[in-house]
Structure 1
Amino acid sequence: MTPNTPSVIRIGVIGAGFMGRQHVEFIRMVGGAELSAIADPVIRGEAFGCPTYPDARDMLDAEDLDAVVIANPNALHVDTAIDCLSAGVAVLLEKPVAATYAESLRLVDAVSQFDGRLLVGHHRRHHPAVTRAKEAVQNGEIGQLVGVSGMWSARKEDRYFTDIPWHTQRGAGVMLINLVHDLDLLRHLCGEVAEVQAIVSSQTRGMEVEDTVAVNLRFESGVVGSFLASDAGVSPWGWDQSTEDNVEFPYLPDGVAYSLVGTGGALSVPNLAKYSYSSSVDADWHSPLSRTYLPVAPQVSFHAQLAHFLDVVRGASPLVSVEDASRTLALVEAAALAAARRGTVNVAQFRAEAMAQARL
């Protein structure tokens, strides 16, 4: 525990849009934390049961906070987080960590400079099914990992774009808003990506931002994978439909977001259905398949993330550091570059070149 950390942690929320309001409710439900203030330029007069401020700096100056949750627009993430770190408060920063990989490096430096406590909100990593799936891969429960595939597709309503103008601008497409979650989990489960290919489309809505993307991945381990993401098409497939993390989505208890294929079996996530041939050493594709489910205690990712954040406030190491999250952002940008070039991008080379350019 850091010095002078109180038993009840006072948290401020910056940004009272969709995600910010969700975080408000999460804080109200957890023990050991108190919603102490909210900063947002467009909530004046609303009743939240705590002081409200038009600007994050005003809130930091006026309130004695231990921590903040930052859920404002992507383009403001880095500057806001640096302001909070310089004020000495711990930060839970919604993904993406920054609008660009190069900009995220400023935050990497700031965490080091201020010896900051910062957790990036890739909440799915906190889901118990992800923890169990990672254990299964690492322990060889499906043999040597060969490949992975997945999908996230749901049709966003028109007002998602008409009511929030920045949702139509560069950096707010399905890649950086939605696919970033999936690429983060694929990195978490399968390791770093060596090469990426991608195809994007904006044909459904004709906006500046893409609505559909398909990516191919080669991981440093030799595992290969693919993923399809769209915010314009109806489907039952995806993390949000397969968990109870987000009540805005219909829940399918046996839904699948990712399929992991190994030499000794297969595993779907998050339902944790494990498929394998018979136990015979001679089993092959002609053998019957069996299905069992890996046991895991249910928990909502956001609740687990907030509990972990309270530990980070007290001095624990974050499960998702800013440097880790920046690598996910670099992968998303490398995918966008691959789509623009209609070719393959070496991810490590992309990171190195972007870092060199950012340091100039």
Structure 2
Amino acid sequence: MTRIALLGAGLIGREHAELLASHPEVEIAAVCDPSPEAASLAERLSVPHRTDYLAMLDEIRPDGAIVALPNQLHAPAAIACIERGVACLIEKPIAESVGAAAQICAAAERYDVPVLVGHQRRHSPDIRAAKQAIESGALGRLVGVNGMTMFDKPTDYFNMEWRRKAGGGVLLINLIHDIDVLRYLVGEIESIRAFTSNAQRGFEVEDTASISIRFVNGALGTFLISDNAVSPWAWEYTSGQALYHPAQPGPSLFLAGSKAALSVSDLYLWRHANEGEHWQHPLVREYRGAPGLPTYLAQLNHFLAVIRREEQPLISARDGRATLAATLAVARAAREDRTVTLSEMLEEDGTEE
């Protein structure tokens, strides 16, 4: 059995707890969170409850840890795990700033302890199938990508004040997942231009954003996101893999290359039937889907292999830092009304690669 400690028992932490409790190869070493809800969760699952993660790590010495604490605690908690040789899965974002993320990267590399960042979509069957289609050359050279995440959060979602303030909006909560998928499928981001709006709710934080992206490989992309619009166009719906949302099969991401185009999550590939055909010839459609485990179970299985040092993290700390930097670049590009490069975001912590 692999002994995993859970740091944080909020909404996503409780979901991790249920996954851990139901996995035949996992023992929950402890639930660590000072809240009464965490104590109740630990009691229900018949596992130890602790309130101080430093004391817990030294006392219980788990094989691995899931860090699902508030963002500003990600770096100190992850570094505490790393210094004790404990592999960790850090919920997104990897940290509250690029500089804090760099500290995690440095610690992981100094102590040679693996860190997996919880961008769960990379484990999803639709994203994995899309990646396979791209890597096989079926699309040819990627030219452009267009995507959407459009859904309507309920009014009471914003009863928590931090969700109405800068940093608590649709960019860091939701767009960061889309940015990670774009980096994974299309390639590294070179620069970003963006507009944001809070016109719908009037909160300090944005509720809608439109983004233009230049990728290092020359591909261009656009993305539209809002948490105040009714639509079926979001990975949470189209993949059928989200924990809290109904399945609405269809596409929300469109990739176009020199040989073919692919829509995700429905995974239809469109191409010409014969070489040499062009825009005046009809296209044929192929289904490129593939079976796979549910996303969160696949992520947990991968984390177990990472803990055992059998696999390298699919989303490393440096990967998580780059995704965070690109997401923060969206906010800066909109705020300063200019193009922002990924390199300038990474330069801020003095560790540009």
What range is the shorter-chain TM-score in? over 0.9
Post-superposition offset of 1:357:
9.0
5+ residue gaps in structure 1? 1-7
Matched, 1:302 2:300: no
- Indicate if the aligned counterparts of 1:198 and 1:335 stay in contact, CA closer than 8 A: yes
Q: 1:197 aligns with which of 193, 197, 206?
A: 193
Letter in 1 for 2:164: T
2:335 & 2:90 partners in 1: Cα distance?
29
Aligned residues: percent identity? 38
Q: 2:323 aligns with which of 306, 328, 348?
A: 328
Look up the SS of the partner of 1:250 in the other structure: coil
Give the corresponding residue for 1:82.
79
1:244 & 1:35 partners in 2: Cα distance?
28
1:334 & 1:295 partners in 2: Cα distance?
33
- Greater shift after overlay, 98-107 or 135-144? 135-144
Q: 2:18 aligns with which of 25, 42, 47?
A: 25
Q: 1:109 aligns with which of 98, 106, 116?
A: 106
TM-score, normalised with respect to structure 2: 0.93
- Post-superposition Cα deviations, 1:175-230, rounded to whole Å, max 9, x if no partner, equal 11110111111011111111110111122222222111111001111100011111
- Indicate if the aligned counterparts of 1:38 and 1:59 stay in contact, CA closer than 8 A: no
5+ residue gaps in structure 2? none
Give the corresponding residue for 2:32.
39
1:169 & 1:105 partners in 2: Cα distance?
25
Post-superposition offset of 1:41:
1.9
Give the corresponding residue for 2:255.
260
Give the corresponding residue for 2:135.
138
TM-score, normalised with respect to structure 1: 0.91
Look up the SS of the partner of 1:311 in the other structure: helix
- Indicate if the aligned counterparts of 2:9 and 2:38 stay in contact, CA closer than 8 A: no
Look up the SS of the partner of 1:327 in the other structure: helix
Look up the SS of the partner of 1:355 in the other structure: coil
Matched, 1:122 2:115: no
Look up the SS of the partner of 1:271 in the other structure: coil
After the TM superposition, which residues 236-247 of structure 1 pair with which residues of structure 2 at under 5 Å, given as runs? 236-247=232-243
Letter in 2 for 1:179: L
Look up the SS of the partner of 2:290 in the other structure: coil
Change over 3 Å in CA distance of 1:168–1:59 after alignment to 2: farther
Give the corresponding residue for 1:4.
none
Give the corresponding residue for 2:336.
341
Give the corresponding residue for 1:12.
5
Aligned CA-pair RMSD: 1.8
2:324 & 2:243 partners in 1: Cα distance?
26
Q: 2:214 aligns with which of 207, 218, 239?
A: 218
Matched, 1:156 2:153: yes
Give the corresponding residue for 1:273.
268
- Post-superposition Cα deviations, 1:46-99, rounded to whole Å, max 9, x if no partner, equal 133212222322432332311111111112111111122223211010010011
Runs of 4+ in 1 over 4 A off after TM superposition: none
Change over 3 Å in CA distance of 1:282–1:44 after alignment to 2: closer
Post-superposition offset of 1:143:
2.0
Letter in 1 for 2:216: E
Give the corresponding residue for 2:308.
314
- Post-superposition Cα deviations, 1:87-127, rounded to whole Å, max 9, x if no partner, equal 32110100100111122111111112222221101111112
Change over 3 Å in CA distance of 1:344–1:44 after alignment to 2: closer
Letter in 2 for 1:190: V
